[in-house]
Chain A
Amino acid sequence: MWADTLFIVLISVCAALFGEGLTWLLVYRTEQYKRLKADVERQCKKIEKKKEVGELSGLRQKKKLERDEDRLKTANRDLSMVKMKSMIVVGVSFTLILSMFNTIFDGRVVAHLPFTPISWLQSLSHRNLLGDDYTQCSFIFLYILCTMSIRQNIQKLLGFAPSRAASKHSTSIFGPQPNSVQVSPYK
Chain B
Amino acid sequence: MSAKQEKNGISSSKNTKTKSSYYLIHRAITSNSQWPDKDDFLDVIYWGRQILGLILGVIWGVIPLKGFLGLLLFCIVSAVAVYLYAFTFQNVDEEDYGGAWEIVKEGFVTSFAGFLAMWIIIFSGLHFKD
Contacts and interface: CB of A to CB of B under 8 A. Distances in A.
Interface of A: 1-3, 5-6, 9, 111-116, 137, 142, 145-146, 148-150, 152-153, 156, 163-164, 180, 182-187
Interface stretch (B5-13, B25-33, B83-91, B98-106): B98-106
A145 B116 contact: yes
Interface in B94-124: 95-98, 102, 105-111, 113-114, 116-117, 119-121, 123-124
A142 B120 contact: yes
Contact of A2 (B50, B65, B105, B125): B125
10 contacts: A9-B117, A112-B123, A112-B124, A114-B119, A114-B123, A116-B67, A137-B124, A145-B116, A148-B110, A156-B46
Given A6-B121, A111-B120, A111-B124, A148 B113 contact: yes
A114 B60 contact: yes
Contacts of A186: 38, 96-98, 102
A54 B119 CA distance: 47
A91 to B, nearest CB: 20
A10 to B, nearest CB: 12
A5 B97 contact: no
B130 A184 contact: no
B128 A112 contact: yes
B68 interface: yes
A164 B37 CA distance: 12
B117 A149 contact: yes
Interface centre among B64, B95, B102, B127 (most CB of A within 10 A): B102
Contact of A185 (B60, B98, B114, B116): B98
B75 to A, nearest CB: 13
Given A142-B120, A146-B113, A153-B50, 9 more contacts: A9-B121, A114-B61, A137-B120, A148-B109, A149-B110, A150-B114, A156-B46, A182-B105, A187-B97
